Amino acid sequence: MGRLIQAELLKGRRSFGRKGLVIFPLLVSGMAIFLMGGQFTQIGAYNWWYMLLLPMVAALICINLIDSDKQLSFFNVNVVPISAAKIWRGKIWTGILYLLFGNGLVFGLTTISGIFFTAQYPIWRGLLAGLVLTLSWAWQIPFGLFVAARFNSIVTFISFLFLNIVCSIQTVAGGNLWYLPFAIAPRVMTPILGINPNGVPLEVGSPLHDTSVIVPGLIITSILFIVGYLLTTRWFAKGRYSHERA
């Protein structure tokens, strides 16, 4: 598996999705510093990251992991002496690695901004936010890879943005529909960072301070990841992708 991941990393070294893992965290940190004027830079950066920029980055990652093979009509999948299932699993874990790197970079940049400006939370809480965000988002990698392989880049990008943004609005993620798959990440981040899904800091006594949603949310997304991992691997192993060539 390690060699498969290395191969995927090598293929994507010049892709925009790979560059976006650095560009977008720097962009969101810069936006928070200049637009917030030094106030709420940490929670602002994190909020904009998982509300808007992370869906874009994740979509680009999934597209880039698929398009390099799709442009060749998955010829390499059919000729290399490695099962299609292993190749697919390599793509999933590469996507997870990219996701972890992006969230880790946001954590690092927000931690640095907390040193120079007013810190809104301790370092351990920022680290927890990055880990929880990665775990609650992991299921979207096999989902995104499937959409990219089954359809095209435009459908993948628009669906990621639409579903994540719509489910991140206050009435969904901050309401009784927080258990919807795409709404879980912004909801579980709310009590960790002390910020509403709409970007407004939580008021004292707000019911959204309740941390009891974190464990159920992570359980739901973990189940989604396992199911998506198994089903999409089985789908790819059967060669269904061959009917959806670019």
> Can you tell me whether residue 108 is helix, strand or coil?
helix
Q: Can you tell me the mean pLDDT for 147-169?
A: 93
Mean pLDDT value across residues 208-233: 96
Provide the token pair at 239.
């060669």
Whether residue 81 has pLDDT greater than 80: no
Mean pLDDT value across residues 91-106: 96
| 34 CB burial (10 A radius; 0-12, 13-18, 19+) | exposed
- The residue ranking higher by pLDDT, 40 or 127, is 127
Range with the lowest mean pLDDT among 76-80, 105-109, 142-146, 222-226?
Answer: 76-80
pLDDT the model gives residue 86: 92
- Give the residue with greater pLDDT, 46 vs 138: 138
| Global pTM value | 0.90
Q: How confident is the model at residue 245 (pLDDT cuts 50, 70, 90)?
A: very low
Say how far apart CA 27 and CA 224 lie, in whole Å: 30
Considering the chain, what is the average pLDDT of its residues? 88
Task: Give the pLDDT band of residue 16 (cuts 50, 70, 90).
Answer: confident
pLDDT of residue 5: 87
Arithmetic mean of pLDDT, 69-98 = 85
* Alpha carbon distance 60, 150 (integer Å): 15
CA–CA distance, 67 with 69 (Å, rounded to integer): 5
Mean pLDDT on 177-182: 93
- pLDDT at residue 198 above 90? no
Q: What is the mean pLDDT of residues 197-201?
A: 83
The pLDDT assigned to 241 comes to 64
Tokens read off for 147: 């959409």
pLDDT for 246? 42
- pLDDT reading at 167 higher than 90: yes
Per domain, the residue ranges of the chain are: 2-243
Residue 244 has pLDDT above 70, yes or no: no
Average of pLDDT values for 174-199? 91
Q: What is the C-alpha separation between 59 and 53, in angstroms, rounded?
A: 10
Give me the count of residues in the chain.
246
